[in-house]
Amino acid sequence: MRIEIFDSTLRDGAQGEGISFSVGDKLSIAKALDDFGVAYIEAGNPYSNPKDMAFFEQIAKDPLKHAKLCAFGSTRRKGIKVQEDANVQSLLQAETPVISIFGKSWDLHVEKVLKATLTENLDLVGDTIAFFKTRGLEVVFDAEHWFDGYKHNPEYALQVLKVAQQAGADVLCLCDTNGGSLPSFVAAGTRLVSDTFKQTRVGIHAHNDIGCAVASSLLAVENGAVHVQGTFTGIGERCGNANLSAIIPTLQLKMGHECVPGDLAHLTTLAREVMDICNLPVPTTRPYVGSSAFAHKGGMHVDGVQKLSASFEHIDPQLVGNTRRFLMSEVSGRTTVLAKIAAIAPQLEKDSPEVAAMVERVKELEMEGYQFEAADASFELMILKVLGRYTPHFHLSMYRTSGEFPPPDGETSASAMLSIQVEDERETTAAMGNGPINALDTALRKALTVFYPQLGKARLTDYKVRVLTGEEATASKVRVLIESSDGKNTWTTVGASTDVIEASWQALADSFEYILHKKEGRLEWA
């Protein structure tokens, strides 16, 4: 069966904390969603802010190829004729083929929030939907708070839907706006509506306030819903909306429904693209698309997946464009090590003494505070050292850092001087920076590019510090993770020490050693 995917990332998703889309951001996301094949893209409320109206004006110049664009707004206001309502007129001005109208279906909201009578609210719903239908537009009616309304006054909640259907609504979308309904209740309510309003498509719009938005959406489909609303990776108000990047593959791969005509192998890339534009990472544990979705750490799990992927994976990660990862830690066994080093030392076997040495070395280093599951680059360098194939490209002679507050020039608050030796030559440099780590990074880069100009494009892109134990207060051991990039590839290194600058130096040095080993062919890019 065909299930309509109604994406609200640009409207409901934009209401999530920390998210603010520019017009350009919304255009980029809309094009990406269109290419992927969602049926509807709800792009904003043209009445609520000029940015949304500007988006509708811009996208009209380069229309979507597949998806139907949808403008969102409320029913007419109480006491105002529908044709005179500014919100209604702004929806017309958006010139979209689909209008999404939300109206009250919970008597509490009608009487306490809208300050209207129950009959007045029915007129608001019917008048507004009929107004748009007489103009040849497709109308999705979002029955706001429908499940709460059905719980407290089922007759009225159903009456609202009946008025919407009679006015011509193409979709009756049942909204769990507060996100607190149990999936079983959503299932029962959806079944009742599907059986009662058989001539109209039924939809589901779930929020995630009790962590059940995906489950409620899937159960709604099992009980007659053919239209599913949500956002990519579940961003949205409060705890977010139903997560389409989990719903779509589940509907297609596990329930046999058709949702998008495009290749699901683009799902992970799309999720990351959307979140990059949000300036947020994809949460690592997001189903299907998170970096941890197919990550294995325990030795038994790794061994099982190596023998038969289905033993610890519910689908092949390639189906959704994700990749399998093996994580190194003190709980890892020889099978994990073998899986991790397959590209570096394919000749080694499980009983090889080198593999045993690697396992022991990992355990020793993790006792000291290192962690390799998020620092593959440092792990690969460690492998080379155990195998006797590591050749350092530089040696540190000394470094010195100093800081000053307030910054003398108003910007740079620290300086660093260091001296390194490459074979028989020595290079001493100094640099200013926004803090001692930035100054040290800049000074090291300056010194190394004298000998290795190919490092010119390498840049530190992320820096994290974790206090490992708090017992020693400011003398506690810390772990530093550094992410670096050359514009094409990204790698992460780790350092650990009671001195944050020393830990940072270890991670910085590993970062440059890693890319130099890569460029010399001693390690292959994943």
Pairing of strands 227-230, 201-206: parallel
- Domain residue extents for the chain: 4-262, 295-373, 395-519
pLDDT of 474: 63
For 67-109, the pLDDT digits (tens) are 999 999 999 999 999 999 999 999 999 999 999 999 999 999 9
- The two domains 4-262 and 395-519 share their CATH topology (first three levels equal): no
Pairing of strands 414-422, 425-433: antiparallel
Fold of domain 4-262:
TIM Barrel (3.20.20)
User: Would the pLDDT of 395 be above 90?
Assistant: yes
Q: Is the dihedral of CA 192, 197, 201, 202 positive or negative?
A: negative
| Cα–Cα distance for residue pair 373/330, rounded to 1 Å | 10
Q: Which residues pair with 202 in a beta bridge?
A: 172
3-state secondary structure 432-448: EECCHHHHHHHHHHHHH
Distances (CA, A) of 218 to 41, 72, 225, 232, 455: 20, 24, 9, 16, 50
For 424-447, the pLDDT digits (tens) are 999 999 999 988 999 999 999 999
Average model confidence (pLDDT) across the chain: 91
440-450 in b/e burial notation, b at 16+ Cβ within 10 A?
Answer: bbbbbbebbbe
**What's the pTM value of the predicted model, to 2 decimals?**
0.76
Query: Between these two residues, 198 and 490, which has the higher pLDDT value?
Result: 198
User: Would the pLDDT of 412 be above 70?
Assistant: yes
pLDDT of 405: 81
For 22-40, the pLDDT digits (tens) are 999 999 999 999 999 999 9
pLDDT of 475: 66
Query: Between these two residues, 248 and 305, which has the higher pLDDT value?
Result: 248
Lookup result for tokens 């509807």 = 40
The number of CA neighbours under 13 Å toward the Cβ of 320 is 30
So what's the architecture of 395-519 in CATH? 2-Layer Sandwich (3.30)
Query: Between these two residues, 405 and 106, which has the higher pLDDT value?
Result: 106
User: Would the pLDDT of 449 be above 80?
Assistant: yes
CB atoms inside a 10 Å sphere around CB 465:
13
What percentage of the chain exceeds 70 in pLDDT?
94
Distances (CA, A) of 329 to 28, 144, 340, 462, 490: 39, 48, 12, 22, 21
For 464-497, the pLDDT digits (tens) are 888 876 565 666 788 999 999 887 788 999 999 9
Instruction: Kindly state the average pLDDT of the residues 105-126.
Output: 97
User: Would the pLDDT of 262 be above 90?
Assistant: no
pLDDT of 328: 63
pLDDT of 343: 66
User: Would the pLDDT of 137 be above 60?
Assistant: yes
Q: Which of 78-92, 163-177, 307-321, 354-368 has the lowest mean pLDDT?
A: 354-368
DSSP letter, residue 143: E
Confidence of residue 333 (pLDDT cuts 50, 70, 90): low
User: Would the pLDDT of 341 be above 90?
Assistant: no
User: Would the pLDDT of 265 be above 60?
Assistant: yes
pLDDT of 470: 59
User: Would the pLDDT of 327 be above 90?
Assistant: no
Distance in Å from the first CA to the final CA of the chain: 39
Query: Between these two residues, 522 and 286, which has the higher pLDDT value?
Result: 286
pLDDT of 384: 87
| Cα–Cα distance for residue pair 274/236, rounded to 1 Å | 13
Instruction: Kindly state the average pLDDT of the residues 212-232.
Output: 98
Return the amino acid letter for 73. G
Confidence of residue 116 (pLDDT cuts 50, 70, 90): very high
User: Would the pLDDT of 330 be above 70?
Assistant: no
For 278-304, the pLDDT digits (tens) are 988 899 899 999 989 998 877 677 678
Instruction: Kindly state the average pLDDT of the residues 358-370.
Output: 80
Query: Between these two residues, 349 and 204, which has the higher pLDDT value?
Result: 204
3-state class of 400 per DSSP?
strand
Confidence of residue 518 (pLDDT cuts 50, 70, 90): confident
The number of CA neighbours under 13 Å toward the Cβ of 520 is 13
| Cα–Cα distance for residue pair 466/477, rounded to 1 Å | 9
For 240-250, the pLDDT digits (tens) are 999 999 999 99
pLDDT of 332: 58
pLDDT of 526: 45
